[in-house]
Amino acid sequence: MSGQMNKIEKQSWQCCKCKIPMSPGNVKITYLGNDFTIELLKCPQCGLTLVPEDLAVRKMLEVEQSLEDK
Protein backbone atom coordinates (compact mmCIF):
# COMPACT_ATOMS: atom_id res chain seq x y z
CA MET A 1 0.00 0.00 0.00
CA SER A 2 2.83 2.36 0.85
CA GLY A 3 3.66 3.07 -2.76
CA GLN A 4 0.19 4.38 -3.49
CA MET A 5 -0.28 6.34 -0.32
CA ASN A 6 2.57 8.76 -0.60
CA LYS A 7 0.89 11.42 -2.69
CA ILE A 8 1.43 14.39 -0.49
CA GLU A 9 -0.17 17.73 -1.00
CA LYS A 10 2.47 20.39 -1.34
CA GLN A 11 1.02 22.81 1.12
CA SER A 12 2.79 25.04 3.46
CA TRP A 13 1.71 23.46 6.72
CA GLN A 14 3.71 23.88 9.85
CA CYS A 15 3.47 22.38 13.32
CA CYS A 16 1.96 24.88 15.73
CA LYS A 17 3.71 23.55 18.79
CA CYS A 18 7.21 23.18 17.37
CA LYS A 19 6.88 26.08 14.94
CA ILE A 20 8.69 24.22 12.15
CA PRO A 21 7.50 23.20 8.67
CA MET A 22 6.17 19.71 8.08
CA SER A 23 8.27 17.44 5.90
CA PRO A 24 7.75 13.99 4.33
CA GLY A 25 8.46 11.02 6.58
CA ASN A 26 7.40 7.48 7.28
CA VAL A 27 4.34 6.97 9.45
CA LYS A 28 2.93 3.70 10.77
CA ILE A 29 -0.80 3.21 10.45
CA THR A 30 -2.89 0.25 11.48
CA TYR A 31 -6.35 -1.22 10.93
CA LEU A 32 -7.87 -4.41 12.34
CA GLY A 33 -4.46 -5.73 13.25
CA ASN A 34 -2.83 -4.95 9.91
CA ASP A 35 0.09 -2.52 9.97
CA PHE A 36 1.27 -0.36 7.09
CA THR A 37 3.99 2.20 6.66
CA ILE A 38 3.21 5.16 4.45
CA GLU A 39 4.88 8.40 3.63
CA LEU A 40 3.09 11.45 5.03
CA LEU A 41 3.90 15.00 5.95
CA LYS A 42 4.93 15.06 9.56
CA CYS A 43 6.55 17.31 12.12
CA PRO A 44 10.22 16.31 12.28
CA GLN A 45 10.26 17.10 15.99
CA CYS A 46 7.01 15.96 17.65
CA GLY A 47 5.75 13.64 14.93
CA LEU A 48 2.33 15.24 14.41
CA THR A 49 1.14 14.04 10.99
CA LEU A 50 -1.14 15.15 8.17
CA VAL A 51 -3.45 12.77 6.33
CA PRO A 52 -4.73 14.68 3.28
CA GLU A 53 -8.43 14.53 2.43
CA ASP A 54 -7.94 12.74 -0.85
CA LEU A 55 -5.97 9.95 0.78
CA ALA A 56 -8.51 9.54 3.59
CA VAL A 57 -11.66 9.37 1.49
CA ARG A 58 -10.29 7.32 -1.38
CA LYS A 59 -7.34 5.00 -0.93
CA MET A 60 -7.63 4.59 2.83
CA LEU A 61 -11.35 3.89 2.57
CA GLU A 62 -10.71 1.30 -0.10
CA VAL A 63 -8.09 -0.46 1.97
CA GLU A 64 -10.28 -0.29 5.10
CA GLN A 65 -13.14 -1.96 3.28
CA SER A 66 -11.08 -4.73 1.82
CA LEU A 67 -9.57 -5.43 5.25
CA GLU A 68 -13.04 -5.52 6.80
CA ASP A 69 -14.09 -8.26 4.38
CA LYS A 70 -10.99 -10.37 4.96
Partner 1 sequence: MDHKQLRELEEKCTQGLPPACTTTCPVHVDVKSFLAEMKAGRFDGAMKILRKALLFPGIISRICDHPCQAACKRREAGDAVSIAALEKTCVRMSSIPPERISILTKKDKRVAVAGGGLSGLTAAFDLATKGYSVVLFESKDRLGGSIWDIPEEILPRDVILEETAVVANLGVEIRFNATVGENLSLTDLCRDFDAVYLGAGRYSQDTFNLQTSREGRILIDPVTFSTSQEGVFAGGGLRTGREYSPVLSHSDGKRAAKSIDRYLQKVSLYASREDEGPYQSRLFTSTKGVEPLSAVVPADPVQGYTREEAIQEAGRCLQCECLECVKACEYLAHFKGYPRKYLRDINHNLKMVMGAHTANKMINSCSLCGLCEEICPNNLNMGEVCKNSREIMVKKGKMPPSPHDFPLRDMQFSNGEMFALARPEPGQESSKHLFFPGCQLSASSPEYIVKTYSDLRKKLTGGVGLMLRCCGAPADWAGRKEHFLEARQEIVRLWNEMGKPCFILACSSCYQVFQNHLPEIEIVSLWEVMDRLGLPDVSTGKAGAGKVAVHDACTTRQEKHVHDSVRRILGRLGYEVEELEYSREKTECCGYGGLMSFANPELVRKVIDRRIKESETDYVAYCAMCRDKFASRGKRTFHLLDLIYGGGNSHLAEKKDPGYSQRHENRARLKDKLLKEIWGEKVEKAQGFAAIKLDIDDELKAVMEERLILVEDVQRVIDYAERTGNKLYNKDTGHFMAYHRPVSVTYWVEYSPRGDGFAIHNAYSHRMQIVGEVEK
Residues in touch with partner 1 (CB under 8 A): 11-17, 22, 27-32, 35-36, 47-51, 53, 56-57, 60-61, 63-66, 68-70
How many whole angstroms separate alpha carbon 70 and alpha carbon 45? Answer: 36
Question: Residue 45 binds what, of partner 1, Zn ion, none (CB under 5 to 8 Å, by partner type)?
Answer: Zn ion
Q: How far is the C-alpha of 55 from the C-alpha of 52, rounded, in Å?
A: 5
Distance of CA 45 to the CA centre of its chain: 16
Partner whose footprint covers residue 1, from Zn ion, partner 1, none (CB < 5 to 8 Å by kind): none
* Binding of Zn ion by 43 (CB under 5 A): yes
